[in-house]
Amino acid sequence: MPMDQEELGRGYRLRFSASAGYRREVWNALVDGFFQAMIPEDSALLDLGCGWGEFIHPVRAVRKYAMDLNPDAPRHLATGITFLHQDCSERWELEDSSLDRVFTSNFLEHLPTKDHVKATLSEARRCLKPGGRIICLGPNVRYLTGRYWDYWDHHLPITDLALQEILQLTGFEVIRRVPRFLPYTISRGFTPPVAFLRLYLRLPILWPLLGRQFLLVGEKPCGTPE
């Protein structure tokens, strides 16, 4: 059974309050050094599982949407970001083909069942324009063993190949798959200097050595019927 919303808010505060400032610096570096190049500045962008807005704030896009069940999220989001407070596996409060990009980081593993993941990705596909893309970052259980279960709200062990398969089954073409991208976590005291992260992003030769999170990009094919 998934967490109720009050418990979700408490859990997020317990896990991330102490590192909130550092997390903002990390995401500023990730957006500036890597992810912004994948997101056109004239795009409509949805941050799926937005948390406190660590990604959606620094990224540049014409229209920004953020979705989460965490009741604390709206208090952390800047003016101009449209917040969707809903279950992501239910129909999204967006029109068909209204988004250019969907981004999600360390979120899908928190959904209670594989059916919830499938329904969520199907909604992303519906709301993306033909040629639109979903960018997925998350822990690759293939390289984590027991550490993956150190988080009470991790429900689904996902690998890069499993995510590739469900993206394909929900109608996406996987155009990029990086099994080892970023190190695993900064919520349990792993706080390397942000300057190291910027260097790391420029040196893909290091990714297979230190990466424990996958990166996948799926594209909605042009000419795909709704």
Answer yes or no: is pLDDT of 32 > 90: yes
Strand runs labelled E in the chain = 44-48, 63-67, 81-84, 99-105, 128-139, 173-178, 213-219
Q: From residue 207, how far is each of 98, 107, 153, 192, 211 by CA, in Å?
A: 34, 21, 27, 15, 5
Task: Output the pLDDT for position 1.
Answer: 46
Task: Output the pLDDT for position 83.
Answer: 97
Residue-wise burial string across 135-168, b where 16 or more C-beta atoms lie within 10 A, e elsewhere: bbbbbbbbbbeeebeebeebbbebbbebbbebbe
Band the pLDDT of 45: cuts 50, 70, 90. very high
Answer yes or no: is pLDDT of 187 > 70: no
Residue among 91, 120, 93, 82 at smallest CA distance from 104: 120
What contacts 221, CB < 8 A, 6 or more positions away? Answer: 130, 131, 171, 173
Band the pLDDT of 226: cuts 50, 70, 90. low
Measured between alpha carbons, how far is 113 from 101 in angstroms, rounded to an integer? 24
Go through the domains of the chain in sequence order and give each one's CATH number.
5-219 (3.40.50.150)
Answer yes or no: is pLDDT of 194 > 70: yes
Answer yes or no: is pLDDT of 192 > 90: no
Answer yes or no: is pLDDT of 13 > 80: no
